[in-house]
């Protein structure tokens, strides 16, 4: 009995700590691959020449932003060569992907995975312009009204989305003054989903730890 009680107390204490440590549902990039650099906080600027390099940069913008807009692309799964525009409304999380090439490095390929389902993207200069204000990070200067942004670069850029992952091949020739950019909207994760998952895993571990023949 003592063994079982000790295991139970330890297990329940662990669950309590995990629940306390679990963050509230929020916008989050959970993984990147290829030529992608994740920025833990939004940059000061993503205007042409301010954030160049051999990699694309990705960051989280706003959480739970209320919008009612027509997105450039809402088909998921889908490819930007055949985008399906559609209305987005309700609380959404916003994220940004940016590539500004340097001499000799015209393009970057990789992927970004989010903790929520992708519901839409802005891939045109106009779409990006109209969402810089309501969905952009407050401390970041965006190239609003700059015509050579989005996916319509001199060498066409392409994205594809599937569930909560966006795969990209972004191109922006240097010294041509252009930037490849995408704003991604994801569904706000359900509150407590992570904690519920941890609790289930913890209870399963507790059952496995019980000694044979112990009382239920």
Residue 110 clears pLDDT 60, i.e. is over it:
yes
- Confidence at residue 26, expressed as pLDDT on a 0 to 100 scale: 63
Measured CA angle at 41 (ends 35, 45), to 5 deg: 80
d(CA 166, CA 114): 8
Residue 199 clears pLDDT 80, i.e. is over it:
no
Q: Which residue has the tokens 């929020």?
A: 26
- Confidence at residue 103, expressed as pLDDT on a 0 to 100 scale: 81
Across 95-99, 111-115, 175-179, 186-190, least confident range:
175-179
């Amino acid at each position: 009995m003592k063994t079982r009680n000790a295991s139970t107390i330890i297990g329940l204490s662990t669950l309590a700590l995990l629940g306390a440590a679990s963050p509230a549902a929020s916008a989050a990039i959970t993984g990147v691959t290829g030529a992608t650099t994740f920025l833990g906080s939004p940059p000061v600027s993503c205007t042409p020449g301010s954030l160049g390099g051999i990699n694309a940069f990705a960051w989280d913008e706003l959480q739970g932003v209320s919008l009612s807009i027509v997105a450039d692309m809402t088909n998921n799964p889908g490819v930007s060569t055949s985008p399906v525009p559609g209305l987005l409304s309700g609380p959404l999380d916003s994220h940004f992907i940016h590539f500004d090439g340097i001499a000799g490095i015209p393009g970057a390929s990789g992927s970004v995975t989010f903790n929520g389902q992708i519901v839409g993207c802005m891939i045109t200069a106009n779409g990006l312009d109209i969402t810089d204000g309501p969905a952009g990070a407050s401390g970041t200067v965006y190239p609003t009204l700059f015509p050579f942004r989005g996916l319509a670069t001199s060498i066409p850029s392409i994205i594809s989305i599937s569930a909560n992952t966006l795969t990209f091949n972004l191109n922006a020739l240097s010294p041509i003054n252009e930037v490849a950019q995408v704003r991604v909207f994801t569904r706000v994760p359900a509150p407590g989903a992570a904690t519920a998952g941890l609790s289930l895993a913890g209870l399963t571990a507790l059952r496995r730890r019980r000694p044979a023949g112990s009382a239920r």
